[in-house]
Structures are given as C-alpha cells and as structure tokens.
A and B are shown apart, each in its own frame.
Chain A
Amino acid sequence: MIFFENLNHPLARSVADACAAQGDDIFDVSASSGGLSEAIAANGAPRALVLTPPERCEAQAMRDAFYDPAKALEFGKQVHADAMQFLINCRLATQAMMTEKTGHVLFLGIDDVAARLVGLPENPIANQLRVSALKSLAKEYGRMGIKYNAILSQPSKETVDPKTWRSQRDQLKVYTMRFSPNETREYADFCAQAVQGSLPLNGGLLCLGKGVMEMAA
C-alpha cells in the first residue's frame, strides 16, 4: 500500500491516480484522524510514503511577520510545528519500514523559485528542511533497504492561469530555455515511477521542469 500524506495536494493526487492505475492501493493519511501512526497500525508498513509541503506561503508569512511581532511569533510557531510533524512522520515511517527492510519515503514539492515567478505559494524553508533531512535519512537507513528521495517540480501548466505563463515567457525570452510548463500528468507519470522505487536513487533530489534553474541544494 502507498500512503500519501495529503491527497489535497494537486500533484500528489495525480501521482496517486497514476499509481492506482498500475494496481497500487492508495491510503490518504490526511483523511485519518489518527494520522500516520493510526494508518500504520491499521495497515502495516507502507511500501511508500509520499510527503507533501504544508499548505501555506512562507514568503507571505515572512512579509506579514516583518510588520507585526505577533505574526512573527505565529510564523515561528508554524515553522516549528511543520518541522516537528515532518520529523515525526519520517520517524514513524522509518520504524515501520525497518521491520520490513524495504520502503520508500518521497517528498513531492514545488520549486520555490518557479512558484515565486508565477505567484504560487513559495516555501523554501519547508522544501529545504525536507531535502536535507531525507539526505541524512538515506545515509543512516539506506543500508536497511529504505529509500529517501525528494522531487521538486516547477508548477504544472494547469495550476497557473495562461496569462501568467505568457508574461513569464515574455520576461524570460532572452534565455535559450524558456519557462515552459509541463502538464500535471507528465510530472505525475514520472513521480509514480519514483514512488514505486524503480529509479536507481537514494538520498537524491530531482528537479523537474523546463526553463527555471534549479536552486535547491
């Protein structure tokens, strides 16, 4: 069974559909009141856990924090809570997968630079803390048969209005490789392969998309 942290995330939804089309059972952790702990207790260790970024915009939260100390405090609490929950989920998944000596934890995020260019939520803190943690986890638990990877994709074509795409292409027209959107399905088909563990990759970061340079480490 493949667990998805949050199927409200548009790319995760499409990846889940692609995996289901290939016969995988899908479980939406966000729909379970007991979260990942309960999902594992009920279903056993997942073959893969697909993690997604928090539903917020760190850039906007930072701007708000600059002008309101209460919002700064709130932003700090959000960042702390997000990091804690991410680590708790990684620990639960790792403990369950260790007993099976196999498994895959994969983070699906949106490239924060590309997101900024088209006005979508920009979350470099959440993205990078996940990428760094998964690299460490791969070094620590890869020998036990568990894979940990991250994929950052540029926003897919359907998530941004056509005018924004056109204006971005105009602004980038001096570059050989223009900001060129892929459809969600194209990303999802690739990510589904990664979820299923068929890529020779552990501790890796893949950047998907055309036209915006990779900024993540």
Chain B
Amino acid sequence: MSYSKIALITGATRGIGRAIAHKYADEGCRLVVVYRSNQQTADETKAELEAKGAEVLMLQADLSDAEACARVVAAAKDRFGGIDTLINNAGGAYDGAFAAMNPEEYAGLIQCNLVAPMLLTIAAKDELIASAKAGRGGEVVMMASMAGVTGKEGQVPYSTTKGGLMGATRLLARELGPEGVRVNALAPGFIRTEMVEILEPKMYEHVLSASASPRMGEPYEVADAAWFLGSSNSSYLNGVIQRIDGGFLR
C-alpha cells in the first residue's frame, strides 16, 4: 500500500488555501486543516475534502499564539503520526494610505503574516526533520506575495510582512537544509480570491494591462505550484521565492 503524505495547511477554508487543500486531497494526502474562526466554511471544506476520499483533521486555532502552534503540531502527531509537509498559507491584508494609518492597526498583521508562520515552522521542526530522514517529505511552503517582491503602493505594512516572510524563508532554508528540510515560498500576484473581488473594474484593467499574461490567476494555479514546492517534484529547490504572477511588470 502506498504511503499517503500528511500535509498541514493553514488558512485552508477559503481562497488559495482551500484550493491547496483540494489539490493535496486530489494527490491522496491526509490533511490537517487549520482555520481561525469561520466554523461554517470549515464544515463545508471538510465535507468537500472527505468527499474526495481524504482523511481530514480540522483544527480551530489562532496561530499568533505560540502555544496554539504547539497544540496544532501535537494534534497532527496524535492523529496521523507526524507532519510531512507544512503549508503556511494563512494571512491577512490591510490596505490604505500608509501615512494615515494607525500603527496599532497593523500590529496584528505582523503577527499573523510574519510571526505566526515562523512560530508554526519552529514548532513543527522535529516532525519535518523526521519526515525528511524517513524519505517521506520535510517540505515547508510559505505564502509570500508579489507585494513583498516588488513593493506595492497602498500596501506598505502588508508588503513589509511578506518581505519579512521571504527573509524567514531563506533563513529557515539555511538552518533546516542540512537536516533535509526544504523551505520555499510562493509569491502570488493577482489571483481571483475574495481579497481582490472588492476592486473596481478599472483597477482590474490597470493591473492586467501590466502583465505579460493579461489575465487573473486562479487559485488552483497557485495550488499546483504549492504542490510542486511541497512534493519531491522540487527536491533540489530550497530557499526559493517563486513568483506566480503571469509575468507581472508593474
């Protein structure tokens, strides 16, 4: 009987995270799905994934709390015996004119987008190393952003957190690489999710006109890339920030 990888995916009940959970289910993985608060979407996601035949452990957790990270890792170990692949997808956005922002308003963003993925990766380190040594996995995928790669007006705190996450990806890759664990990041551009649905049509045109592929990306396309980085298909990639942006030029 072939081995079913164990993937822990955060923020997996909507948008890109949900698409990643579906991709990993399609690939026959056992899933630990972490969500922050929305029970209804969590229930829907679980039903969808189980309908595909996946074994699913749903966990509600606020990962900005280090103890919660440890509890999530322990729960995954109790249920499935370990973690092979960690997808740090959960994150938020906070847009606006930077000079007019109140610093208290982006404190939570730093915790959610930068500190939480680091703490969860640190908490999962032993499981990931064990998986790598057993030849099962040991991959970490961070969800950065093109805002972190190229900068984006109106998104100064957001791009700051994603830039920090890119730095953390490189640092974790250097520190865990000798143990066989690979840490890479995806930097999505303009992807069709709830985050961009609020934009006006002229903003769509503005963004799309500045892309080599003048269309929005779909969540499943990011999920395909997340599968590549989170599987042995990318076995010689480590510390990479992979753009997935249709050739964004702006």
* Chain A residues within CB distance 8 Å of chain B: 58-59, 62-63, 65-66, 69, 72-73, 75-76, 79-80, 83-84, 86-88, 90-91, 94-95, 98, 112, 116, 122-141, 203, 215, 217
Please name all residues of chain A whose beta carbon is closer than 8 Å to the beta carbon of B168 when the two chains form the complex.
124-125
Residue of A nearest to B66 (CB): A73
Q: Is the CB of A136 within 8 A of B166?
A: no
**Bound CA–CA A180/B219 (angstroms):** 45
B151 touches A136 (CB 8 A): yes
| Complex CA–CA separation, A69 to B98 (angstroms) | 34
Apart from A83-B160, A87-B160, what are 12 other A-B pairs with CB-CB below 8 Å? Answer: A62-B172, A69-B66, A79-B110, A84-B103, A87-B106, A112-B171, A131-B163, A132-B163, A133-B160, A138-B151, A139-B151, A217-B149
Q: Chain A nearest CB: distance from B236 CB in Å?
A: 17
Among A65, A73, A88, A136, the most chain B Cβ lie within 10 Å of the Cβ of A136
A-B pair count, CB < 8 Å, reads 145
Residues of B within 8 A of A (CB): 66, 70, 97-99, 101, 103, 106-107, 110-111, 114-115, 118-119, 122-123, 125, 147-157, 159-164, 166-168, 170-172, 174-175, 241
Q: List 5 A-B contacts (CB under 8 A).
A: A59-B171, A132-B163, A133-B163, A215-B170, A217-B149
Asked if B98 contacts A62 (CB within 8 A), the reply is no
Tell me if B115 and A76 are in contact (CB < 8 A). yes
Nearest neighbor of A96 in chain B, beta-carbon distance = B99
Cβ-neighbour of B147 out of A72, A75, A94, A136 (below 8 A): A136
CB-based contact A129/B175 at 8 Å: no
* Contact of A128 (CB < 8 Å), options: B110, B155, B163: B163
Q: Is the interface of B mostly helix, strand, loop or mixed?
A: helix
Within the complex, which residue of B122, B153, B174 is in contact with A116, where a contact is CB–CB below 8 Å?
Answer: B174
**A-B pairs with the 3 shortest C-beta distances?**
A132-B163, A135-B151, A128-B167
Contact residue among A58, A75, A86, A132 (Cβ-Cβ distance under 8 Å from B149): A132
Nearest-CB residue, chain A, relative to B145 = A132
CB atoms of B114 and A83 under 8 A apart: yes
- A79 touching B164 in the complex, CB below 8 Å, given contacts A59-B174, A90-B156, A134-B151: yes
Find chain A residues with CB under 8 A from B115 CB.
Answer: 76, 79-80
A-chain residues with CB within 8 Å of residue B106 when the two chains form the complex: 87
Question: Among A65, A125, A136, which residue has its beta carbon within 8 angstroms of that of B156?
Answer: A136
Residues in B whose Cβ lies below 8 Å from that of A132:
147-149, 151, 159-160, 162-164, 166
Given A128-B163, A136-B156, are A66 and B150 also a contact pair (CB < 8 Å)?
no
Residues of A within 8 A of B167 (CB): 58, 112, 123-129
With beta carbons under 8 angstroms apart, the residue of B98, B103, B118 that contacts A79 is: B118
Please give, as numbers and ranges, the residues of chain A lying within 8 Å of B98 by CB-CB distance: 90-91, 94, 136-137, 140-141
